Chains A and B, each alone.
Chain A
């Protein structure tokens, strides 16, 4: 027994699980295909369509009544088998009657006869259902409200139809049916009435609806085509819309309502919760905004940006094309944007600012890296190996990812060996660059060789007249030069000078040191989401027609020109999908923050704040308000993005 991998109990569980899945999938599939096939009949066989549709309507209507115990039971205390039979036979009978009526109507084109048949059978059916209504569902009719509601609703229906320039009679008939139902069953006490009252209450709506149907003509070829087309839209959309309504729209409406109430969801406080969110110093702290201008990142960013701008303007004057993607001004401007945003957001603190920072950073880097990897891997050997490794983080659960990264970032007292990879490297780098042995000498040589390579690459661009690449290469060379300088003279990495003037190792508290601990948290999400961006964009790149690329190559385009001018425009909408999805996904990020810092050290984000308020602190109102803020703040970005994509497509 020990050796068996699956016991009988496991097997039975597997089987029951499988059956459940197959039944669930099968039932929804056959339902959906069935409806499709039903409407396929509209064009080819009008009678059959009517027969089947009548069958379905009759069955559903009576099933609804029967299922809600609104019809009289057959026996006083039926056991479950007769209950099932009852549940089946009444609707089946109803289905057949409705079906027969529909067939008769479908084959009768004479207007008067249609009207008589339809309204007559409507009256009879309504009356019969009324008589069969369960005793506790019979209304005790009150004439005044009955007439009042009938007249008012019918009047409204007719009025609207008139305003829209239509025939008021059909709308009035539907109004009569609705009004009579509401006045008959809605207003009075149920259960006190007689069979006659209940028959009257049900027969009049039957008559009205019957008459409304009788007024229609049998659809001609054009009408049938219209029914076919219109119904398809509904059939294809309804499954998705149903799920979306139940699981997203309804809860959202509830949340909006709750956000206007107090913490126990009792009293309406209107916008107080929103006020408390926005006035909380923790969600919004822009007091020291002037520090932005003294932030090194910001200043350098502005300088690089101005450089990029200058290059772009000069080029535009010369060639008319200064700022195109992939041009010489592109890289400096992009780098400048990142630096400026980082400079600004590292000064302005608070939950909302953190969210903005997260959205910007993770979206830009995940999309950029994902695209770069997808493109580079596309032409590399061992493509699937590279892609699999990049994808791997997605497969590791969030708990796993957080454990990994807490481990990567962890700092230890410098008297101990570092267990965190980042600090281990950082401290070693410090030792290396401040030491005086052979490794340090070799390191110095290495960094200056790298600088020389950078200079060589610039000179290569000059001699081969590929000026496009100079700005990026120059920037890279400047960074290398700075590193080399620091390595040679001051030292670089994890060290500090203690009070005795000695150089001792020093660690970085990646998770604790504000404000850049936020960036290290974002790195975790970038690590995970790059795989997402890569997979989607890789699929899109593979779908770019090879002929286009070959044609460009024949025209003498280099690989990078092919990418910027052929591939990129082809996958633009896919990039749009990735960017939009990432913005939303990042806006909702909470688990990484929750597991790693739980909002400590100035790293709080909206979703974690909301989770805490709603589920831990029982502040339903504030929690709901945070959810609404979260939703509303990304909405414009999303709508604009999708609109733009729709226009481009």
Chain B
């Protein structure tokens, strides 16, 4: 029957062909709805947020900037500027340093031959499974007292790591992040670096390049896409982290991160929960900037990838 009317047939087929793209935009729409609701609510008063859904915003008696005013001006826990500064002081080193260390290690696991390489790699990456809560108290003690070991039977104490008085500083926070980030960073970077074409390395070796030169001149430039991907995530995670920042530096008003400041804004029993939508957007601003800034490196991935055999 449909064969008699090719017009209808083509129309239906065309519709079906567009389904995948349609599905994509459907998902995108679904994904954006909660955020959209959050955005709209950030401009509504507490009672409006509680009594009517955000899609009823046109019935409200006007939007308000009051929530943002409070979020910007609150200073009981820490000022906005101070807390942003502290978050940067945590997130930047906590992003840069793990990238460097993980790149070294990933290169070693991928391209330097030594005994037990595969199992050492597996062991390192397996540490990903450790819930970070187990490390909170031991690390806090380490930053507080240093690490000392009393030799059994001899009752003599040896200082393994001295006390650098790091507790309650942003340094303690990013050092902690560095340790926790490494297993995933090594895993991700190794996956990429180990798939770089081996003839590149052989050619460089024949030219007399040592591992350090190869790493510096070849591996790092070629790995920029994966470094960017990791940088995005690591920045996000450290920027949005509450637990570590609160544990390692939560009792020092000069080292308060933005997440702690926002959690405090909400008050106990969620008294000021209506401020959180606005606060969430203020908090998400810098991670989004980082995402947009680093996203362009993904396109360069094509260039880097085209070297692949």
Contacts and interface: CB of A to CB of B under 8 A. Distances in A.
Whether the complex brings A and B within 8 Å at their CB atoms is answered yes
Interface of A: 6, 10, 13-14, 17, 20-21, 24-25, 28-29, 32-33, 36-37, 40, 43, 67-68, 186-187, 228-230, 232-233, 235-237, 239-241, 243-244, 246-252, 254-255, 369, 372-373, 376-377, 380, 384-400, 403-405, 407-408, 416-421, 424, 453, 456-457, 459-460, 463, 527, 530, 532, 535-536, 538-539, 542-546, 573-574, 576-577, 580-581, 584, 587-588, 607, 610-611, 614-615, 624, 627, 630-631, 634-635, 638-639, 642-643, 645-646, 649
Nearest to B183: A244
A446 B182 CA distance: 53
Given A10-B81, A240-B186, A376 B21 contact: yes
Contact of A542 (B32, B89, B301): B301
A388 to B, nearest CB: 7
A292 to B, nearest CB: 29
A460 B9 CA distance: 8
Contacts of A460: 9, 12-13, 16
B301 A244 contact: no
B244 to A, nearest CB: 10
Given A243-B178, A392-B31, A614-B133, A536 B229 contact: yes
A453 B38 CA distance: 36
A630 B210 contact: no
Nearest to A250: B138
11 contacts: A229-B113, A240-B186, A246-B142, A386-B25, A389-B28, A393-B35, A407-B34, A542-B225, A542-B299, A588-B132, A615-B133
Contacts of B151: 186
A346 B120 CA distance: 39
Nearest to B184: A581
A268 to B, nearest CB: 16
Interface string B275-293: 0110110011001100110
Name which of A377, A384, A392, A614 has the most chain B CB atoms within 10 A of its CB. Answer: A392
Contacts of B211: 232, 236
Contacts of B295: 384, 387-388
B191 A397 contact: no
B126 A635 contact: yes
Given A10-B85, A376-B21, A394-B236, 17 more contacts: A28-B97, A186-B156, A232-B112, A232-B210, A240-B102, A388-B292, A397-B283, A417-B52, A421-B55, A532-B233, A539-B225, A542-B225, A543-B302, A545-B305, A581-B188, A627-B131, A627-B133
Contacts of A643: 122
Interface string B156-178: 10010110000000110001101
B76 interface: no
A527 B283 contact: no
Interface string B41-72: 10000000111111110000000000000000
A475 B33 CA distance: 28
Interface in B232-287: 232-233, 236, 240, 242, 259, 262-263, 266, 273, 276-277, 279-280, 283-284, 287
B184 A638 contact: no
Given A10-B81, A542-B301, A376 B24 contact: yes
Interface in B127-155: 127-135, 137-139, 142, 147, 151, 154
B134 A21 contact: no
Contacts of B292: 388
B242 A399 contact: yes
Contact of A248 (B159, B180, B305): B180
Contact of B298 (A248, A255, A542, A614): A542
Chain B interface mostly = helix
Given A17-B88, A380-B21, A543-B301, A404 B179 contact: no
B112 A373 contact: no
A441 B154 CA distance: 89
Given A236-B108, A638-B125, A254 B138 contact: yes
Given A244-B183, A543-B305, A404 B35 contact: yes
B145 to A, nearest CB: 14
A21 B89 contact: yes
B28 A244 contact: no
Nearest to B3: A463
Contacts of A186: 151, 154, 156
B96 interface: yes
- Which size bracket describes the interface of B in this complex? 35 or more
B280 A584 contact: no
A535 B195 contact: no
Given A397-B284, A627-B133, A419 B50 contact: yes
Contacts of A635: 126, 129
B84 to A, nearest CB: 10
Nearest to A67: B162
A385 B41 CA distance: 23
Contacts of A243: 101, 175, 178-179, 182
Given A388-B291, A407-B41, A456-B12, A573 B240 contact: no
Contacts of B109: 237
B52 to A, nearest CB: 6
Given A248-B180, A403-B276, A543-B308, A397 B20 contact: no
A29 B100 contact: yes
A631 B52 contact: no
A390 B287 CA distance: 14
Contact of B134 (A28, A255, A391, A576): A255
Nearest to A456: B12
Contacts of B125: 580, 638, 642
Contacts of B138: 250-251, 254
A26 B163 CA distance: 22
Nearest to B287: A395
B262 A395 contact: no
Nearest to B158: A68
Contacts of B217: none
B102 A610 contact: no
A396 B212 contact: no
A527 B37 CA distance: 15
A538 B226 CA distance: 11
A646 B195 CA distance: 11
A646 B159 CA distance: 39
A25 B142 contact: no
Nearest to B92: A21
Interface string B92-105: 11001100111011
A230 B280 CA distance: 49
